Structure 1
Amino acid sequence: MRLRTLLGLTLGAGLGWLLLAPTRVRPVAWEGPGLAPSRTGGPYADNGRLDTAEHFAPVPGQTSPESVAVDAQGRLYSGFGSGAIVRFAPDGSRPEVVANTGGRPLGLRFHPDGSLLVADALRGLLRVRLDGGEPEVLATGAEGVPFRFTDDLDVDRAGRFVYFTDASSKYPWPHELLDLLEHGGHGRVLRHDLETGDTAVLARGLNFPNGVTLGPEEAYLVVTETGGPRVHRLWLVGERAGTLEVFTDHLPGYPDNVRWDGVDTFWVALPSRRSPLLDATARQPWLRRMIARISERVKLPLPEESMLVALNLEGRPVAFAQGSGPGSYGYITQVLPHGEHLILSSLHGETLARVPVAQVQS
């Protein structure tokens, strides 16, 4: 009898904590993305094309390469969890630390002048000159609102405008799950003018806008919205300038970075398969508040998998690759087309990896 009473009191206290404990997360009810695409048929069927990936040389003392950029000599660069910027030879060998942002580097792009532009989650928009010196802070906020989660970026061919995302103005790195649970529209897409130093907001009210890339003729941006989960097109020129439209929205996972191949394909990383729990509780904010109380104290992982998708210029999937075997490279956060390969980065990986483009498109 005493044991049953003790168990009852314990369960009651646990339920009371889940219902009443303080939390900064204020979930918003929304319609949700609908049913996830089939894993057995259609464009997103499991295919094992990523079950074998060639891993680059390990980097002593470094983990979690989130993004990757390539310089004029074909060398590859990635930002690691320690703040280090690591350079690899074109074949993935000979890694060496060439800089450190002092924060958490996420998106990387090379400026036409050879400097490296960095979206640093903790420090804002940076420029790193690889010949030495401290990183230059270009912007830390816009319209009086500080950046809390500077995420990804692209730069125009003229080298004047940097387009980038602040994934959340409320939840800093590494609390992306709290932003996804709240669905409060704290994300923005921005443009920084390197000549004047001005930063303008191009789009707001997004739920964790993540990857960004310029499209053909620099007429528009393609922006991934992890909390959608969907991909947008933001027009920059013409009659539709300033218009944000859905590019694609029936994805099997949460989109991260996106890169254009310069011809006709956008490569989107999908680090995590969609969570049935998040999908099912879209209209029940009180349930997501309970989940948030736990996730503020314990890291709750999303369903990790190895996935990527290629979209054509109309936003339709033209290639999909998935893997879950022991040789796959999980939690892919960026896919960079480079010659005959796709270079992969991962927040949960120890180094970069690559797979042949032909293997993905077969």
Structure 2
Amino acid sequence: MGSSRLRLTFLTLACATVLGGAAGTVYLNAHASTSTASSPSSAPASASATSPATASAPSSSAPADGEASVEPSAEPSVDRDALLAKAVAAVPRTDDTEVAVSVLDTETGQKAAYGDGAFATASIVKVDILATLLLQAQEAGRRLTATERTYATAMIQNSDNASTTALWRVIGRAEGLDAANERFGLTETEGGDGELWGLTRTTAADQIALLRQVFEAEGSELSTASRAYVQGLMGRIAAGQDWGVSAAGSSSALKNGWLPRSTTGLWVINSIGRVVSGGHAYLVAALSQGNATQTAGISLVEAMAKAAVSVCGESGETGAAAAGAQSSS
């Protein structure tokens, strides 16, 4: 045995460290060294002669000193438009009723939308008329007159039509509204003909753009004072007119529109505004036309607003389930 050569193989254990579950990174460091000794007595010397560098050189893909790192995993994407479409489909309505709804979380930027058709505004155009009046006054370097302020209060808080017609004339009717809307970023809104301000055509997406002009400082053409003025009026809507998107939150600033069409007898029911729910602020626009009754239209836009806020505020199936439950309630 003394003259024979014994081949001694020293193997270190393979160490596997798994961090972060499915979202983490697995590192496997295996170290092995093989030494040949002429006799048992020479084995320790031979083993000790092996340099640390050749004994276990770390992999280029593994951290040094045995440290492991975790790579953050991307959050799974959620198709909120699809979730909202599912929730809206669950809301009872007749085949003649057309709807569109859009929502934006002003803090996270999450958004969802359903429907891109154009709708008659009815009285929600009154927010646009006031925003136009304020922009024109800013450009002229003047304040609103006492009469204009009286009209504005009646127009927004009480939805007074005579006051609206007076301010519609002040801003230059559809021409003045359309010019301001170009500044506001509304690309699919067209002022009504002549004195027919209630037949202005708009989309849910454009109404969100208008609400951003009123409620967000960044990118707004309106001054801080002008925005605060509109917000204040929208936050003090007369009793009996404060339905709509307010159903989706604990507090709200809004404007509603309702109009029976003389040609069909069917109702246009719209609601736009800002609501607070679960500590987040949302801009919501819910539009509908072809409603059999005013009551049915109000129930419809409220259900759509609740569904939109739920989908935008939640993620995945949680939001879909909540939206469906609220829509059917």
Structure 1 length-normalised TM: 0.23
> More strand by proportion, 1 or 2?
1
- Which has the larger helix fraction? 2
